[in-house]
Amino acid sequence: MNRLSALIPAFAGLLAALVAAPAAAVIDNVSTNRAIELRADKLPSASVISNLSAGAKLTVISLEGGWALVESGRQQGWVRAGALQMPAGTSSAAGMASGRAAQGSSAVALTIRSLGGPGARHALLVSVGRYADPEVPTLPGIAADRESALQIAQSLQVPARSTRALTDDQATVDAVRRAFFELASRAREGDRVFIHLAAQGSQQADAGGACVAGLLMHEGGRGGFLSHAELAQMLQPLLRRTDKLFMVIDAGSAAAGTPPAGWTNANDEGVLRSRHRAPGAACAPGARTAALADELARGAPLGGETVILAPVPGDPALEDDAKGGLLTQFTRDCVVRDAREATVSGGADTVRQCVQAKLNNRMHGDPVLRPPRVGLAGNPGAALMPPARSGP
């Protein structure tokens, strides 16, 4: 089965737009249809630059995952795309993923219809920031992760009706098992799937004393532990059936060795913390655990068009309290915005390198720890931007 012709279907229409449109682009004569806040990032929790009144005139620079990058006077920031009134003849905010057109020209519509007829698309988004177990600390950045993961799903042209989200107390071990089972039952040959998991990573000793790695669902402790081995079993039906599987796991496989209350560095004012907790039976010092990719490989060779981005085994996952997991927010930026400038020959590793570069920049010179390394399981040469189609 050919699994890697178009991992990110939205990129096909986007590349066609870049080929057809002249260089750099804006949409003029845009106005707000209600009062709206201009924010520093495309997140509801991002700092407010200014408040825009209804009817304010703006210039749209790009539309990405339900948000618009706009200019208002000398200020530039993000607003909800749904709050914008586009001039006649241009694409609505809901119908655009992103794009740039020469000033005064029509905006490029990147709708699902314009992408042709790929397989159905599905998304499963699981994020756990609050735990029933009081021994497991909360993750404030998870709220931002939910928004970022949704933006990635939207950029991949996953319909809202095909997007399932489990958050906090909804994300129990049993609920996540059911969600994977239901996803596998819906998926058909040739479909595309995006999965995002954000939670505390954990390592625990099993009943036989072996050290196993996994994630903590809402229950926390031993009862809320979802091991990589079980996760690999739940993924096997999707690996066999779907055309493409893109997965992001924003959870640490090791502690960061830093204070749990968080810390800052000179590159950003955001407070950082580690996403790793081991409230169950402790592993023996120096014990090694199998990464998810290793567990998946036990069932079948991992390759084709399966791509999994996650911290390298032994490295932590870090989150910014306000902006969310670093891996999640930088994957969002690279997939939705930066990767559109990759060439047709660019592959999954293009995105990984983009994310790693942003991590390196965020953690540059940090006195506490080095930048976590981003691992990629699957085919690193997968073309994330397939050749543009001509015609309607």
Closest CA to 296 of 287, 304, 288: 304
- Provide φ and ψ at 304, rounded to 5°: 55, -130
pLDDT in tens, 71-120: 988 889 999 877 888 776 554 433 333 333 333 333 322 222 323 334 68
The answer regarding whether domain 23-107 maps to CATH 2.120.10.30 reads no
How far, CA to CA in Å, does 92 sit from each of 21, 68, 116, 261, 333? 18, 11, 19, 43, 22
Structure confidence at residue 279 (pLDDT): 65
Residue carrying structure tokens 């905010």: 93
Report the C-alpha gap between 28 and 86 in whole angstroms. 9
In what side-by-side order are the strands of the sheet with 200-205?
200-205, 211-216, 225-227
Q: Where are the domains of the chain?
A: 23-107, 115-378
Chunked mean pLDDT (size 10), the chain, 392 residues: 39 34 61 88 83 91 79 88 74 37 30 41 96 92 95 88 95 96 87 93 78 90 88 87 86 70 76 81 66 69 74 88 94 77 58 93 85 85 43 34
pLDDT in tens, 4-37: 344 334 333 333 332 333 333 578 889 898 888 9
Burial classification of residue 321, based on how many CB atoms lie within 10 Å of its CB (0-12 exposed, 13-18 middle, 19 or more buried): middle
For strands 192-198 and 121-127, give the pairing: parallel
- CATH top class, domain 115-378: alpha beta
Retrieve residue 237's tokens. 């039906």
